[in-house]
Amino acid sequence: MKKFRFVLLLLAFSTLFLNPAPGVYASPFELAHDDGEFDYGWSDFYPYAATVRFSPPSQSWRITGIRLHGVCILRGSQVFYVEIWDANLNTKYQSAFSPSSVFKNATLDWYTIELPNIVVTGDFYVVIVPMFTLDGAQLWISIDDDPPFSNSSFIVNVGEHTIHVSLNATSKRPGDFMIRVVGEPTPSPPELRLASIEAGVDETVLTFTYPGELAGFGARLVKPDGSSVEENVTRVGENLVVRTGGEGLLNVFAVAKGFGTIGMSIRLNHSLRTAYRALFENYTVLKHDAESMCEQIGSLIKDSGELRLQLSQSQALIRVQDERINELLGNVSSLRSELDNVRAEASRLRGESTLLAAGLVFAIIVSSLLGFLEVGRRWRRR
């Protein structure tokens, strides 16, 4: 009956019920939430993934491996993914594994996935992406549904980096994914930082900085369909320069000497380059307008120079005219003074003329009288 139930659930692509595993693996540096008792299994299509949140006993933690309880039907050649996310759901590490390199065919058991010393700081998430397919390998991840629950297991959407379902105590199917972490405390390494992004027409160039020594580095672009491709990375001083023409989630990692592998992720999409094209077109138009404006400004500067020369000449002419006006005003004032003198002299002359006229009339009258007297006198002598 259990075997028949197992086949039905495989065909339903959801939950798998099997007998509990007999043993539990433990080590001094193993972080776990489950009790080691298997209850059922889970799988799903991309982009959904099983995720467990861990709080390491030290601020910085070096992850050397993942312990996973489950079963895998080996078929086909596709891969499954293991990712490490930070507390903000950003990818710190991502790698693809062939199911045949980890699992035994159709064997429910604990399996170890070795990782290249991934260094994390604070809380982190271990993400297993089963990449379930109908005609390929089918990986089922075990779930422990016995209370108490850690409230640290989730089903996430790796395409959007969001939590899809929480398996906490208040959910419909509470439980803990049987995913564990093997590691140890480690000193905090320098941080890998994004310095700049330059979006071109055909590619995007990203620059990351890391101040310490590196033993290796690389970048992988996870495309929207879940497939991945290695990207070109070059080291220039303290910078890692990544060139890519695709879109998806770009995971960049650096192997730091004395620490381990550190990494970060950034999401790229064609809208960035579309925006760049639009900006470039706008830039071209603005550049043309700027050149036209520069020509106009040059012409205006030339006209301004000519106007300044004309203004200077006009100011000189105005100064000359002002001098002439001042001179004319002085002449007018002098002429007014002379006119006043002339008027006074004319008034005096008019007075004298009047006196002279009166004297002349008087003289004429006197002469006439004398003449008349002389004539009368001579007339009497006869």
Check pLDDT > 80 for residue 27. Answer: no
Q: Domain 193-268, what fold? A: Immunoglobulin-like (2.60.40)
Return the pLDDT at 324.
84
DSSP string spanning 45-111? Answer: -TTEEEEEEE--SSSEEEEEEEEEEEEEE--SS--EEEEEEETTS-EEEEEEE-GGGT--BT--EEE
Distance between CA atoms of residues 260 and 215, nearest Å: 9
Range scoring the smallest mean pLDDT among 31-35, 77-81, 165-169, 291-295? 291-295
> Region 306-326: what's the mean pLDDT?
85
List strands edge to edge, sheet with 124-129.
91-97, 80-86, 124-129, 48-54, 153-157, 162-166
* Higher-scoring residue by pLDDT: 277, 344: 344
Range scoring the smallest mean pLDDT among 40-49, 135-144, 239-248? 239-248
Q: CB atoms < 10 A from the CB of 19, how many?
A: 9
- DSSP 3-state assignment of 376? helix
* Higher-scoring residue by pLDDT: 53, 302: 53
How many Å separate Cα 291 from the centre of its chain? 27
Return the pLDDT at 127.
98
Q: Nearest 5 degrees, angle CA 269-CA 249-CA 182?
A: 170
Check pLDDT > 50 for residue 12. Answer: no
Pick left, alpha or beta for residue 217 (phi over 0 → left; psi -120 to 50 → alpha; otherwise beta).
beta
Query: pLDDT tens-digit profile of 117-143?
Result: 899 999 999 999 999 999 999 999 999
Whole-model pTM? 0.61
DSSP 29: T
Query: pLDDT tens-digit profile of 326-357?
Result: 888 888 888 888 888 888 888 888 888 888 88
Check pLDDT > 80 for residue 277. Answer: no
How many Å separate Cα 48 from the centre of its chain? 30
Check pLDDT > 90 for residue 146. Answer: yes
Return the pLDDT at 278.
66
Range scoring the smallest mean pLDDT among 1-5, 53-57, 285-289? 1-5
Check pLDDT > 90 for residue 41. Answer: yes
Return the pLDDT at 11.
32
* Higher-scoring residue by pLDDT: 325, 258: 325
Return the pLDDT at 296.
86
Return the pLDDT at 22.
34
Q: What is the 3-state secondary structure (H, E, C) of 180-230?
A: EEEEEECCCCCCCEEEEEEECCCCEEEEEECCCCEEEEEEEEECCCCCEEE
Query: pLDDT tens-digit profile of 70-86?
Result: 999 999 888 999 999 99
Return the pLDDT at 5.
32
Return the pLDDT at 321.
84
Return the pLDDT at 311.
85
Distance between CA atoms of residues 37 and 178, nearest Å: 9
* Higher-scoring residue by pLDDT: 182, 360: 182
> Region 45-53: what's the mean pLDDT?
96
User: Over pLDDT 90: what percentage of the chain?
Assistant: 37
Residues in the chain: 382
Query: pLDDT tens-digit profile of 213-222?
Result: 888 888 888 8
> Region 98-115: what's the mean pLDDT?
96
User: Mean pLDDT, the chain, as a whole number?
Assistant: 84
- The most confident of the ranges 53-62, 174-183, 197-206 is 174-183
Q: What is the dihedral of CA 376, 377, 379, 380, to 10 degrees?
A: 120
Check pLDDT > 50 for residue 94. Answer: yes
Where do the structural domains in the chain lie, given as residue ranges? 2-185, 193-268, 273-382
Check pLDDT > 90 for residue 150. Answer: yes
Return the pLDDT at 276.
59
